[in-house]
Amino acid sequence: MKKALLALAAVMALGVVHAQSNDTLAKIKSTGKVVIGTRDSSAPLAYTTGDGKYTGYHVEICNRIVDAIKADLKMPNITTEYTLVTSQNRLPLVVNGTVDLECGSTTNNKTRQAQVAFAPTTYVTNVRIAVKANSGINSIADLKGKKVATTTGTTSVQLLRKHERGQNVQFDEVFGKEHADSFLLLESGRADAFVMDDNILAGNIINAKNPADFKIVGETLSEEPIAIMYRKDDPGFKKVVDNAVTSMMKSGEIEKLYDKWFLKPIPPRNVSVNMAMTPSLKNALGNPNDKPAEEYAKK
């Protein structure tokens, strides 16, 4: 009888876990921690300074969200745990509950919205091309016959091929596991260009051995909203997260963080990426929304 009761209790416990699988606040309350998924080479949004710590514009925004979660649950001692994610595993780790908040450089699009949810847009990126300054490459057309690097799990090369000026340009793809790997392909000469979000390109360039050896060129392939990602179908958690982000927008705190990470010197080299806020981002901050890239492009 005792074994039977224990078995029944185990089944009931599993049922409770399953029922709460999309109740992130309940999960955080039970574990006493928030798990943040972040990147190691997506400066200035999210990266490591090489000492095992993660920092950046989106990491700081997520830290403010954690403060809001603590206040909502009335649990000031909740801890923050960081988990390194990649372009390939970031969605699965959010969906399966390993990560509560993904604070990296993820584009909000319709395909991803079928699996996860997004906070209001906090960055708008332009997908462009990084090359060596002496390469002679200045546009999409110049990529003909070249090796083009991108990061596995991203959509940059697909965007390049779909662009009206890239449809008839034949080039070879080479892949890096992470953005730093992709940039290394360019830096070492194994690739002639690296296609990616402009902020990621700029962040890798300023951390290169010789930043002056590189430049960002070419047409904008796509303008896309970037946002904090979390599990979908979780209205309680969405309310806390979105309210925290919207409050930062209304108070002007987002603008201050943008100034800190995009216009002022940042670690570890104390160099600025020097990227002024675009009109598109100003509009997104003034009109908070979680619209996907497909709708964003229509406005």
pLDDT tens for each residue of 154-213? 878 888 888 877 778 999 999 999 999 999 999 999 999 999 999 999 999 999 999 999
- Residues 118, 259 within the same domain: yes
pLDDT grade for 90, boundaries at 50, 70 and 90: very high
- In angstroms, the CA 254 to CA 120 distance is 12
Q: Residue 158: phi, psi to the nearest 5?
A: -60, -40
- Residues 109, 238 within the same domain: yes
255 pLDDT higher than 80:
yes
- Residues 88, 180 within the same domain: no
- Residues 196, 57 within the same domain: no
DSSP designation for 271: B
| Domain assignment of residue 90, yes or no | yes
Which one of 166, 192, 223 terminates a domain? 223
CB 229 within 8 A of CB 90: yes
- In angstroms, the CA 85 to CA 160 distance is 25
**Structure token digits, residue 236:** 């309680």
CB 110: neighbour CB atoms within 10 A? 11
| Domain assignment of residue 291, yes or no | yes
Handedness of CA 261, 267, 273, 274 (dihedral sign): positive
- Residues 253, 218 within the same domain: no
pTM of the model: 0.86
7 pLDDT higher than 90:
no
87: exposed, middle or buried (C-beta count within 10 Å: 0-12, 13-18, 19+)? buried
107 pLDDT higher than 70:
yes
**Closest by Cα among 183, 162, 173, 170 to 141:** 170
Q: How many CA atoms lie within 13 A of 233 on its CB side?
A: 8
Average per-residue pLDDT for the chain: 91
12 pLDDT higher than 50:
no
- Residues 135, 107 within the same domain: no
| Domain assignment of residue 194, yes or no | yes
The residues facing 196 across adjacent strands are 128
pLDDT at 8: 40
pLDDT at 21: 58
270: exposed, middle or buried (C-beta count within 10 Å: 0-12, 13-18, 19+)? exposed
- Residues 211, 153 within the same domain: yes
- CATH number (domain holding residue 205): 3.40.190.10
- Residues 159, 273 within the same domain: no
pLDDT grade for 9, boundaries at 50, 70 and 90: very low
| Domain assignment of residue 12, yes or no | no
- Residues 68, 85 within the same domain: yes
Number of domains in the chain: 2
| Domain assignment of residue 11, yes or no | no
Structural domain range at position 56: 20-122+227-296
| Domain assignment of residue 142, yes or no | yes
160: exposed, middle or buried (C-beta count within 10 Å: 0-12, 13-18, 19+)? buried
CB 217 within 8 A of CB 132: no
CB 179 within 8 A of CB 187: no
Q: Residue 93: phi, psi to the nearest 5?
A: -70, -25
